[in-house]
Each structure stands twice: as structure tokens, then as C-alpha cells.
Amino acid sequence: MSSAPSGSPAPSDLFRQPVIAAPMAGGASNPRLAAAVSEAGGLGFLAAGYKTTDGMYQEIKQIRGLTSRPFGVNLFMPQPRISDPSAVEVYRQQLAGESTWYDTPLGDPESGRDDGYEAKLAILRDDPVPVVSFTFGCPAPEVLASFARAGTYTVVTVTTPDEAQAARWAGADAVCVQGIEAGGHQGTHRDDPAADGTGIGLLTLIALVRDAVDLPVIATGGLMRGSQIAAVLAAGASAAQLGTAFLVCPESGANPLHKQAMTNPLFVRTELTRAFTGRPARGLVNRFLREHGPYAPAAYPEVHHLTTGLRKAAAQAGDPQGMALWAGQGHRMARALPAADLVDTLVAEWQHTAWQGSEPPEAAERNTAWQDQEDPAGDGGPAGTGRTAAVGGREDS
């Protein structure tokens, strides 16, 4: 593993433990959750997506009152129009029954498509924060350069090696490598229905991205256990970012029905769907997703605006079957611990994995007595489930 010639520090040089709480737009991420994670030695994130500029700034002020440790802010990139207006109109009609059922009008699909990007950038440059990450695209080089001048560390979310190269070219400090396992939106730079079904699993994507660019990697997607953190670090990531794992924490602002659904055995599968927002996002398969997913158009953020009221009404009615139950593929492993305890637990699991494997590889040579299945290891002891990993710190390069 080589040092980044760009001189980019690994993001985990910014905080003590290689654990990042993923930004979760829509309410789950808030100053309380983010501060708790940062205080525990990880990196907490605020999610500016869907918020007003002022709402974002208020949260930044709040977290500064709660912790002096580094934290991050995530921005959604403005979205070019890719949708056919008639496809949005057809979907509006297909949602008419939902509107009646939840007694709520559908939203105006043209309620804005830039998420206040420029205004949010202006705030973050005037009053810099430690880390800014981007989702749904790559900022212009000038934007990333201005953050570099402000001392802000920048991260671009990527889902393919090509997107990682774009981030490298634009001057990002690091990439957040998001596997297909991740809950919520895929951070794909351009939503292309022709690419549906081609999303890449995290462990392969890390290897592909490391082959393509020399930037530090933050790994995300389906991570719920310290052993998985050990794994992505072994694969060459600098830190692990976890969303669903933190969504269920008491500090998280996610709706209680959403939190409960993570481990509710009624919900057995997750799927990528455009049903709620018009962009592929992974959620628990519920009635709304099953019914509307098959024909939902590629039309973000139009569909997001259309369904916002419906989802709120479903939550108010206590009906998880009409909510967007964003969840990563590891959702059933969620543990509803306070955020600081979760960070501690993850770190302990990771270090436990680390210690188990602290003998050097040479000492681990096995005999090959496959014929002797009564005592396969030849040591008279019970057979373990195999090798384990020792994960040390950053290399001394």
C-alpha cells in the first residue's frame, strides 16, 4: 500500500478510531448523534441533504456546542434533469391511490433540484468545518481547491473505479467507496437505468478503486461488526463508514418505526428502488416499495418531492409499509446501543480480531493432514473456524 503522492492524509489521521457514522439525510443524522460519535473517537457526520442552508448552519453551530472534536458535513450535488416529464406525470397518476389512502396531496415535483448547493458551499467556505463529503457527483476542481485552502478535508462518494478517477482528477482528498450493500441512496454520479443491476460489492470495489487511484479509501456498505471493519482495513481502506449501524442508536433522529423495522423479522429483504425518490436507494422491502418499485421512473429529485408528504403521513399514521425504510444489507445485525457504546463495541471487536491473529504468518503454517480429520490441526485441540486477522495501525512508510 503506497502513500498518496498527493500528500493527502488518510481521513483516519483526523480522528482516533477508524469508525465514521455515515451521513443519513432525512433526519437520522443530527448533531447529537454526530457529536456522540466524534466524542467517542470516531467521526460524526451531519447530513445537509434536504435541509435549508440555515437548517444546515444551525446544526453546525449545535454540534460545535457539543464537541470540540472533528466532524463532517455531507452535501448532495445538484442534479441534471434526466427524466422525461411525461414519465413523472405517469408516476404521479400511479401514486393517486396512495394520496387518497394517506389523505395527503402529492408534492410538487418541481420543488427544486440543487438542494441549495451554492448557498451551502458559501457557508462552509465562510465558516469552515473539518470534513466535507459529497454525494451524487463530483464537485468542480475549484470547489475542492477552495476547501483545501480553507483547511477542510474533502471526500467524494464513489461507486465505480471511473468515479474514483473523476474524484482524483478533481482534487478530492479521499474517496468514500460505497458498495452495493449500502442502505439509502447509492452515491452514483449519474443515475443511468441501463446500469441497473451492475452495482459492485464493497470488497471487490475497494480493490478496483485501489487499482485505479492512489487516494485514501473510506469503505462503506453493509458494515455492522468490528470483524467487517478489520476486513475493510485489511483490504486497504483507511476507515469504515457505517450508516444502518448508527441509525438505531437512541441519539439518531430516525423515526422509531424505522429503527424498529431494522430487526423486525417481518422485513427480511432489502432492495434498491426508485419508488421513493426516483434514484436507486436501498430499503427494506415493504408494501410501497413492492408495489411502485417496478415502474418508478429515473427522476430524482422529482419523485422525492412527489412522495415526501406521503412518507410523512405514513409515519404519522404509524404505518411502516408506506415509509422509506432505508437499510443496508446487514440491517438485522443492528444493535440499539448508545452511539458511544457502539463505537467502543466496534473498536473492541476490531481489536479482538486483531489480537487473535497476532502471530506472524510463518508460525501459522498448517499441516496438511486432511486425511486425519479426527485431529485436523495435529495439535490435539478442537478445530477453530479458521484464520483471524491482526489489524495494526497505519504503516510506518
Site for a second copy in 1-60 (CB under 8 A): 1-4, 7-16, 18
Residue 353 interacting with a second copy (CB under 8 A): yes
Nearest approach in angstroms of CB 266 to a second copy is 15
Q: CB nearer to a second copy: give 88 or 327.
A: 327
Give dist(CA 340, CA 59) in Å, integer. Answer: 20
Give dist(CA 231, CA 3) in Å, integer. Answer: 20
Question: In this chain, which stretch among 85-93, 113-121, 138-146, 349-357 interacts with a second copy, using CB under 8 A?
Answer: 349-357
CA distances from 162 to 149, 166, 227, 242 (A): 26, 6, 29, 23
According to CB under 8 A, which one of 92, 312, 332, 335 is a site residue for a second copy? 332
CA distances from 90 to 83, 85, 270, 362 (A): 12, 9, 26, 64
Residue 396 interacting with a second copy (CB under 8 A): yes
Give the three cell numbers for residue 1.
Answer: 500500500
CA distances from 193 to 190, 199, 218, 294 (A): 10, 12, 26, 12
Instruction: Convert residues 59-78 into a mask of x (bound to a second copy by CB under 8 A) and - (unbound).
Output: ----------xx--------
Q: Contacts with a second copy in 179-238 (CB under 8 A)?
A: 179-181, 195, 197-198, 200-208, 210-211, 214-217, 221-225, 227-228, 230-238
Residue 376 interacting with a second copy (CB under 8 A): yes
Cα-flanking dihedrals φ and ψ of residue 318, to 5°? Answer: 70, 30
- Number of neighbours of residue 96 by Cβ within 10 angstroms: 10
Q: CB nearer to a second copy: give 227 or 260.
A: 227
Give the three cell numbers for residue 259.
Answer: 429503527
CA distances from 221 to 7, 106, 353 (A): 27, 31, 20
Q: CB nearer to a second copy: give 317 or 389.
A: 389
Beta-strand pair 184-185/281-284 = antiparallel
According to CB under 8 A, which one of 80, 93, 265, 363 is a site residue for a second copy? 363
Nearest approach in angstroms of CB 342 to a second copy is 15
Q: CB nearer to a second copy: give 21 or 77.
A: 21
